[in-house]
Amino acid sequence: MNFWKKVWKKIVCPGWRLSALSYALFLIMLVFTCSLLASDLETYGAEYAVYAVTALLLAYCVYISVSGIRRVKGFVYERTEEDSLPGRFVRNYGFRTHVYSGMRLAINVAYALFEGTLALIASSVWYGALAAYHLLLSFMRFFVLNFVRKEGKSELTEEEREFGRAKMYGQCGAMLIVLTLALSLAVVQMVIMKNGFRYAGVMIYAAAAYTTYKLTLAIVNAVKAHRFRAESVRALRNINLADAIVSLLALQTAMLAAFGSESRETFVFNAFTGGAVCLFVVGMGIYMITRSRQKLRKEKKKRGAA
């Protein structure tokens, strides 16, 4: 029994040797998987076992990476001052959210410019709709981050700050609804004109892994953010969740294009999922507007009572 406890402890808390071996095995299995996908060999179902082992190794490597990040975070936490930049990044969830959102803002702007250029070159409504979507997403992140910057420099009372934050939260909800217009245009193009995302070769598997990671992280952070009072953190995490949900839709269209056929079922499935994603984003926007109005009414009552 002690032997298996030691083995389990090694797996849960791997050292650098086991970590390096796991990464090496994953790379080997990934190459093997890609080779099977590219070849026409008759494997009699054995490829599914290879895919399963590769998936398990991928999951374990992700676990090792997350554990490593936590160890680094703990190391930095113990050796930095609270007011220093690394210290704030490790200790302050709100500050970390703002930094990540600034990075995402730059990526979204670059993506919007790239898709806008493709739309002009190819005269494509599909790429134009995607460019508009990423441009609006960029504006929303900029709007929240700019609000945080201005609030930090202002000399407002706490009541005025709370009122401004609630108003900003509702405005973000309204922008999410506007964002759905660009998204719905892209969905219509995807369904009717049979446009969609496509990945070359085995890149679709990398896209699937990244989308799963992105969506899982977005859900976890959205739930975590709602324990914080800061509306800017909640708004940014909700924007990230909307972005991740749309990435899931993009992955579905790519997978159906790669492995499916141009049948009525594919048409219906894309239309259903696209509509569900649009409704989800609209619902999130309505929720944010409702919460904003509730808080604004409370703040107005406080002012009236004072």
pTM equals: 0.70
Given a cut of 80, is residue 143 above it in pLDDT? yes
Using an 8 Å Cβ cutoff, are 196 and 190 in contact? yes
Which pLDDT tens digit goes with each residue over 169-190? 899 999 988 888 777 777 776 6
Please report the sign of the dihedral spanned by the C-alpha atoms of residue 101, residue 106, residue 110, residue 113: positive
Question: Which residues have C-beta within 8 Å of that of residue 64, sequence separation ≥ 6?
Answer: 14, 19, 22, 23
Given a cut of 90, is residue 286 above it in pLDDT? yes
3-state SS class at 156: coil
Q: Domains of the chain: which residue ranges? A: 2-79, 92-305
Given a cut of 70, is residue 151 above it in pLDDT? yes
Given a cut of 70, is residue 304 above it in pLDDT? no
Q: Give the separation between CA 290 and CA 172, rounded to whole angstroms.
A: 12
Q: What's the Cα-to-Cα distance from 176 to each of 39, 141, 162, 269, 287, rounded to whole Å?
A: 45, 11, 21, 24, 11
Cα 2 from chain centroid (whole Å): 41
Give the percent of the chain with pLDDT over 90: 3
User: What is the model's pLDDT at position 1?
Assistant: 55
| pLDDT bracket for residue 76 (50, 70, 90) | low
The torsion defined by the Cα of 176, 181, 182 and 187, in degrees rounded to 10, comes to 110
| pLDDT bracket for residue 228 (50, 70, 90) | confident
Most distant CA pair in the chain, distance: 79
Q: Give DSSP secondary structure letters for 262-284.
A: SSHHHHHHHHHHHHHHHHHHHHH
Using an 8 Å Cβ cutoff, are 233 and 148 in contact? no
Mean pLDDT over each residue of the chain, to the nearest integer: 77
Q: Give the separation between CA 2 and CA 14, rounded to whole angstroms.
A: 17
